[in-house]
């Protein structure tokens, strides 16, 4: 079945999210790769969300990042505000509770976060890296002095997840009937923004206008999300306008598609609306890492996703211009 036909027949009134086992991701056998790519394709066309297990991210890296985040977010607000994202060039640093708004219908997002882009762990290498290719999105990361080791803990989680993301691009390419290396020359300086997020518990009367993160789609190609075990908060919207829970499943990460992939694929791959509400009574932490193509790449529709009955849905823009516009809207400047 062609991609366009598969998209026309998609079952988007899903009631659950598929779990895909990545144990064979590096298996060179073409039939094994094809079978895995087919599972990914079904998930991307029907749901736009999937869980991955056997993802290879060390548990220690996750628990160290979580411990560092807990310490960081417990600092006084004025200390965190020294790195206010609104003072930074290009959206690096701290965003306070209610300072971002992902859903224009909402009053603001009930979470705080810390945002950074790709950077080598080695401080000397990091200082020498200029990321000149980032164009409109250029700008160095900023890091807090406290807690000591925050930068290292976050980057020690970040780099294995970036490697996982780079291993997923060929799988998405195969799922789109493209050569496995289709994204290689488009992800050489791969944009990979990470956000460390803290959702304070929300108690009291339910105000649907104030939730952890308002209904939105992600901007980039795909997101790899770690969510704190044991706390249900994330929900995704199906075609019947029903919110489906996406609970944390031990040993898995969530992968969801974003709007850059919707643009590449002319909406054959779904960028599914989602939100998070923390009514657990406890603090909740999560870490999304957003993968886009290099910022200078033009988001052109893949020919096999366009037909006479499915004309091009989007005008072509560069990835950097697109992300910057979306970030400006989310942060209101
Ligand atoms: O915290 C979560 O579970 C979701 C976060 C999210 O959707 C985002 O940051 O785009
Ligand atoms: Fe999101």
Q: Which atom of ligand 1 is nearest to the CA of 111?
A: 1
Q: Which ligand is nearest to the CA of 193?
A: 1
The number of beta carbons lying within 10 Å of the beta carbon of residue 53 is: 14
87, 115 Cβ separation under 8 angstroms: no
Q: Does the beta carbon of 286 sit less than 6 angstroms from any atom of ligand 1?
A: yes
Q: Which atom of ligand 1 is nearest to the CA of 102?
A: 10
**HSE on the CB side for 65, CA within 13 Å?**
27
Report cis status (omega within 30 of 0) of the bond before 147: yes
How far apart CA 155 and CA 149 sit, in angstroms, is 10
How far apart CA 44 and CA 7 sit, in angstroms, is 10
Hey, which of 109, 192, 276 would you mutate to test ligand 1's pocket, going by the most ligand atoms within 8 Å of its Cβ? 276
- Which residue owns the Cα nearest ligand 1 atom 1? 286
How far apart CA 285 and CA 131 sit, in angstroms, is 29
Q: Which atom of ligand 1 is nearest to the CA of 233?
A: 3
Q: Does the beta carbon of 327 sit less than 6 angstroms from any atom of ligand 1?
A: no
Tokens of 196: 């460390």
Determine the pLDDT at residue 328: 84
Q: Which atom of ligand 1 is nearest to the CA of 286?
A: 1
Q: Which ligand is nearest to the CA of 247?
A: 1
Cα 222 to its chain centre, rounded Å, is 5
Query: How large is the ipTM?
Result: 0.99
- Tell me the chain's radius of gyration from C-alpha atoms: 19
Q: What distance in angstroms lies between residue 70's CA and the mean position of ligand 2's atoms?
A: 21
Nearest to 49, CA basis, from 273, 209, 241, 333 = 273
Q: What distance in angstroms lies between residue 305's CA and the mean position of ligand 2's atoms?
A: 24
Q: What distance in angstroms lies between residue 288's CA and the mean position of ligand 2's atoms?
A: 8
Determine the pLDDT at residue 44: 98
**To which residue do tokens 């002319």 refer?**
266
* pLDDT digit string (tens) for the chain, length 333 residues: 899 999 999 989 999 999 999 999 999 999 999 999 999 999 999 999 999 999 999 999 999 999 999 999 999 999 999 999 988 877 899 999 987 777 777 777 889 999 999 889 998 888 877 666 666 666 789 999 999 999 999 999 999 999 999 999 999 999 999 999 999 999 988 779 999 999 998 877 767 777 899 999 999 999 999 999 999 999 999 999 999 999 999 999 999 999 999 999 999 999 999 999 999 999 999 999 999 999 899 999 999 999 999 999 999 999 989 988 888 887 765
Tokens of 68: 């560092």
- The DSSP element (H or E) to which 114 belongs, if any, is strand 112-116
């Amino acid at each position: 079945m062609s991609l366009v036909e598969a998209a026309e027949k998609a079952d988007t009134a899903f009631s659950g999210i598929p779990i895909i086992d990545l144990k064979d991701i590096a298996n060179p056998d073409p039939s094994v790769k094809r079978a895995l790519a087919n599972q990914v394709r079904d998930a991307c066309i029907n749901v736009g969300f999937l869980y991955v297990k056997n993802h290879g991210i060390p548990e220690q890296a996750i628990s160290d990042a979580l411990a560092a985040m807990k310490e960081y977010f417990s600092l006084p607000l004025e200390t965190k505000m020294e790195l206010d994202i609104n003072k930074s060039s290009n959206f690096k640093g701290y965003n306070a509770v209610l300072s971002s708004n992902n859903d224009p219908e909402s009053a603001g997002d009930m979470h705080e976060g810390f945002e950074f882009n790709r950077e080598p762990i080695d401080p000397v290498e990091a200082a020498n890296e200029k990321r000149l290719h980032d164009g409109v999105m250029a700008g160095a990361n900023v890091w807090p002095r406290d807690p000591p080791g925050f930068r290292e803990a976050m980057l020690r989680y970040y780099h294995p997840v970036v490697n996982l993301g780079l291993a997923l691009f060929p799988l998405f390419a195969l799922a789109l009937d493209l050569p496995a290396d289709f994204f290689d020359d488009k992800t050489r300086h791969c944009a990979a923004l990470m956000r460390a997020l803290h959702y304070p518990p929300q108690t009291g009367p339910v105000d649907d206008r104030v939730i952890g993160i308002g209904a939105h789609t992600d901007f980039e190609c795909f997101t790899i999300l770690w969510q704190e075990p044991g706390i249900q908060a994330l929900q995704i919207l199906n075609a019947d306008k029903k919110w489906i829970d996406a609970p944390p499943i031990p040993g898995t990460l969530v992968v969801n598609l974003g709007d850059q992939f919707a643009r590449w694929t002319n909406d054959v791959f779904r960028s599914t609306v989602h939100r998070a509400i923390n009514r657990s009574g406890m603090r909740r932490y999560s870490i999304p890492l957003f993968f886009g193509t290099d910022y200078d790449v033009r988001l052109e529709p893949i020919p096999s996703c366009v037909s006479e009955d499915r004309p091009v849905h989007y005008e072509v823009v560069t990835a950097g211009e697109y992300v910057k516009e979306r970030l400006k809207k989310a942060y209101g400047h």
